[in-house]
Amino acid sequence: MSRHLLSAADLDRDAAVEVLDTAELLDRSLTGREIKKLPTLRGRTVVNLFYEDSTRTRTSFELAAKRLSADVVNFSAKGSSVSKGESLKDTALTLEAMGADAVVIRHSYSGAATRLATWVRGSVINAGDGTHEHPTQALLDAFTMRRRLRGGEGDLTGLRVAIVGDVLHSRVARSNVLLLTTLGAEVTLVAPPTLVPVGVEQWPATVCYHLDQVLPDADVVMMLRVQHERMSASYFPSAREYARRYGLDQRRMNMLRPHSIVMHPGPMNRGMEIAAEVADHPKRSTIVEQVTNGVSVRMAVLYLLLGGSDE
């Protein structure tokens, strides 16, 4: 693995499989232990630099770092770096001076993690930058798919994944398209045409505007969060119409093959993109599992970026 994880495109097939394998290994080595901690990153400092609220992702990274015995500092810098307080560059230099070995950054601007990586010597992990990418989310999604449908081994060759919803504004979708296709999966994007970016033709994915058409063939249906604000910007006429055309309800879930799973990166809009009975379905829904797997995958990323050869 290279020094940073900024984009899912930073990982080739072998590097991606290595992360997933490492996550499995770490997960197993902690299973059944009374004290869920490994000494691997003792003495290392991981900074969580969060410019956006995200209790879910921040907590996941924090747990991952702590389970590897790293020192964790949460540096919450809400609001735009320009409108309030110091610039991202000055913050970067401050963290650098404090000896951060890794900076996990969540930021509302696309490319913020890439910029940060030009200013610090430590590793930068992109925990979501604007509408660009969220590579560890894609890794935990791939990990979840592999466990459920590929016995926790190898890659995802031949797996058919439908990613449904606001692709245009979704960093989860961008990272997943890159990572899943790297791992051999076939990705179909399903959305109203307003929520698919101009230029999507160059992505390694097919686009379909009709959810019902893709469900019978999908091994995985990944529902994306659709923000209500999109409605006022005329991306679709109403929340009801969106739910009717692109929401995953009971009827649509019944179109899936028996083994197929339903994923969601959270937080969900129940009743909008996903019906409650689907989200809570004991067999198909992996939503809670994804959260658990997120910690393992982030441990693997931290381990591979910071551990290994330096020890």
Partner 1 sequence: MSVLLRNVKPYGEDPTDVLVVGDAIAQIGAALPADGADTVIEGNGAVLLPGLVDLHTHLREPGREDAETVESGSLAAALGGYTAVFAMPNTDPAADTAGVVEQIWRLGHESGLVDVQPIGAVTVARAGVQLAELGAMSDSAAQVRVFSDDGSCVSDPVLMRRALEYVKAFGGVIAQHAEEPRLTEGAQMNEGAVSARLGLAGWPAAAEEAIIARDALLTGHVGSRLHVCHVSTAGSVEILRWAKGKGWNVTAEVTPHHLLLTDDLAEGYDPVFKVNPPLRTAADVDALRAGLADGTIDCVATDHAPHAMEDKETEWGAASPGMLGLQTALSVVIETMVRPGLLDWHGVADRMSVAPARIGALAGHGREIAVGEPANLVLVDPDARWTVSAGELASKSRNTPFAGRSLPGRVIATLLRGRPTVLDGARVPVGAGTAGVGT
Residues that bind partner 1 (CB under 8 A): 80-82, 87-89, 107-112, 114-115, 118, 129-133, 171, 174, 197-203
Any catalytic annotation for residue 292? no
Indicate the helix (H) or strand (E) that contains 263. strand 261-263
Q: Residues 6 or more apart from 201 whose CB is under 8 A from it?
A: none
Min dist. Cβ of residue 233 to partner 1 (A): 9
Contact assessment for residue 26 and residue 296, using Cβ atoms and an 8 Å cutoff: yes
Any catalytic annotation for residue 257? no
Any catalytic annotation for residue 210? no
Q: Which two tokens stand for residue 270?
A: 């129940």
Catalytic residue among 58, 132, 134, 150: 134
Any catalytic annotation for residue 56? yes
Min dist. Cβ of residue 166 to partner 1 (A): 12
Catalytic residue among 4, 44, 58, 106: 106
Min dist. Cβ of residue 307 to partner 1 (A): 28
The phi and psi torsions of 199 (rounded to 5 degrees) equal 105, 0
Any catalytic annotation for residue 148? no
Rounded to whole angstroms, the Cα distance separating 174 from 42 reads 33
Residue in 107, 109, 147, 122 with CA at minimum distance from that of residue 23: 147
Contact assessment for residue 172 and residue 265, using Cβ atoms and an 8 Å cutoff: yes
Q: Which is nearer to partner 1, 89 or 281 (CB)?
A: 89
Catalytic residue among 22, 40, 57, 182: 57
Q: Which two tokens stand for residue 283?
A: 């067999």
Rounded to whole angstroms, the Cα distance separating 212 from 42 reads 50
Q: Which is nearer to partner 1, 149 or 207 (CB)?
A: 207
Min dist. Cβ of residue 61 to partner 1 (A): 21
Rounded to whole angstroms, the Cα distance separating 207 from 196 reads 8
Catalytic annotation, residues: 56-57, 84, 106, 134
